[in-house]
A and B are shown apart, each in its own frame.
Chain A
Amino acid sequence: GAVVSQHPSRVICKSGTSVKIECRSLDFQATTMFWYRQFPKQSLMLMATSNEGSKATYEQGVEKDKFLINHASLTLSTLTVTSAHPEDSSFYICSARKAVSSYEQYFGPGTRLTVT
């Protein structure tokens, strides 16, 4: 199989604090991981593409200093929301790709972030 996990599944934090979300491929090595954000009743918007051992590529309009992405190993990518504000409250979903030439993406279950 191809299982991707995310931790935590839900997090509530206070405004101004930082939150780290982990995305792990449990039974395969992921050359590339993607981070998406989904606001209520909206579609998934790609935030960034993360390749193991290199800097993430951010989509236009996504602040790279606010959303720090680290892909330190072939099974783990982390997204840190720095100095979170209520408008950052959203559902964050990661996905992982097995090989460079593969179009198959395996999605994690998502992390619901609420900033109070």
Chain B
Amino acid sequence: AQKVTQAQTEISVVEKEDVTLDCVYETRDTTYYLFWYKQPPSGELVFLIRRNSFDEQNEISGRYSWNFQKSTSSFNFTITASQVVDSAVYFCALSEASGFKTIFGAGTRLFVKA
């Protein structure tokens, strides 16, 4: 069975600090996709990144970076020089090749204070 664990329920940082959001997943499939989504107070999900299980390259997009490590089943997300606009709930999610369903972690609520 697939599972996504985001152990950090809430994180509070001061603007310009770096922050890392943890994500640990479980799956029996060898082919799967991992995602990160941002959910601002409006509620609409914003897609941030997708990574397939065969691509362990880390990725950087502006202030965002992702560290995918299959050995530890982790897909962590780092925001560099955080800003108030980064305040939101961030979800890590997993889709297995066998079912195409997407399972979400519990989410991490990030507060960035000015």
Bound pair (A, B): yes
A73-112 residues at the B interface, CB under 8 angstroms:
91, 93, 95, 97, 103-105, 107, 109-110, 112
* Chain A residues packing against B (C-beta within 8 Å): 32, 34, 41-46, 49, 91, 93, 95, 97, 103-105, 107, 109-110, 112
Whether, in the assembled complex, B101 has its beta carbon less than 8 Å from a beta carbon of chain A, the answer is: yes
Least Cβ distance of B10 to chain A in Å?
Answer: 10
Q: Is the interface of A mostly helix, strand, loop or mixed?
A: strand
Enumerate chain B residues within 8 angstroms of A49, measured Cβ to Cβ.
101
Enumerate chain A residues within 8 angstroms of B104, measured Cβ to Cβ.
43-45
Enumerate chain B residues within 8 angstroms of A44, measured Cβ to Cβ.
45, 91, 104
Whether the pair B43, A91 counts as a contact (CB closer than 8 A) is yes
Enumerate chain B residues within 8 angstroms of A95, measured Cβ to Cβ.
102
Q: Which residue of A lies closest to B42 (CB)?
A: A109
Whether the pair B43, A110 counts as a contact (CB closer than 8 A) is yes
Supposing A93-B45, A109-B43 touch, asked if A43 and B101 sit within 8 A by C-beta, the answer is: no
Whether, in the assembled complex, B54 has its beta carbon less than 8 Å from a beta carbon of chain A, the answer is: no
Q: Which residue of A lies closest to B6 (CB)?
A: A43
Least Cβ distance of A50 to chain B in Å?
Answer: 12
Whether the pair B91, A43 counts as a contact (CB closer than 8 A) is yes
A43's partner among B50, B52, B100, B106 (CB-CB below 8 A) is B106
* Chain B residues packing against A (C-beta within 8 Å): 33, 37, 42-45, 47, 50, 52, 91, 95, 100-107, 109
Enumerate chain A residues within 8 angstroms of B102, measured Cβ to Cβ.
34, 46, 95, 105
Q: Which residue of B lies closest to A111 (CB)?
A: B43
Query: Roughly how many angstroms separate A32 CA and B99 CA in the complex, as a whole number?
Result: 12
New A-B contacts (6) at CB < 8 Å, excluding given A110-B43, A110-B44: A32-B100, A43-B106, A43-B107, A103-B50, A105-B95, A107-B45
Q: Which residue of B lies closest to A108 (CB)?
A: B44
Question: Can you spell out 17 A-B residue pairs with CB atoms less than 8 angstroms apart?
Answer: A34-B101, A41-B109, A42-B106, A43-B91, A43-B106, A44-B104, A46-B103, A91-B43, A93-B45, A103-B33, A103-B50, A103-B95, A103-B100, A104-B50, A105-B102, A110-B44, A110-B45
